[in-house]
Structure 1
């Protein structure tokens, strides 16, 4: 008979990744909003690029976080 318990260490790792993802989901659009409101400033393009990269990172982190949490619950190794 198998012991089906959640791996707490892996679960905490997944939750930590999800916290960084949540942080990125708010910071990325904020950078993009600040860049798009100041099109005449010299930092327009760098801020827009950074905002887009942070948004992409948020989606990737969310996928990795959910995947890690599911692996901790269902013991996929």
Structure 2
């Protein structure tokens, strides 16, 4: 009977823990950018927020993929 590989599972949990702050930070920065459309800070906060949102999606996907790999591989 196969068992869960704990080392790979912990790696997946670390990826998920890394994505969690990005999930809260990205919408905040995007909203902050939209609130300052007249200023030049829109061009600072909005792209950074988009990059962090993409990073949150990537790390969450990678974490789920790694957790599934530890259980079923």
Q: Same fold (TM over 0.5)?
A: yes
Quote the RMSD (CA, aligned, Å).
Answer: 1.0
Paired with 2:43 and 2:59, the residues of 1 have a C-alpha distance of 24
Paired residue for 1:42, among 40, 43, 57? 40
Q: Structure 1: where are the runs of 5+ without partners? A: none
Q: Structure 2: where are the runs of 5+ without partners? A: none
How many angstroms does 1:52 deviate by? Answer: 0.6
Select the structure of larger CA radius of gyration: 1
1:4 is paired with a residue whose SS is: coil
Paired with 1:23 and 1:7, the residues of 2 have a C-alpha distance of 26
How many angstroms does 1:30 deviate by? Answer: 0.5
How many angstroms does 1:68 deviate by? Answer: 0.3
1:10 is paired with a residue whose SS is: helix
What does residue 26 of structure 1 align with?
24
Q: Which has the higher helix share?
A: 2
How many angstroms does 1:60 deviate by? Answer: 1.0
Paired residues in the alignment total: 73
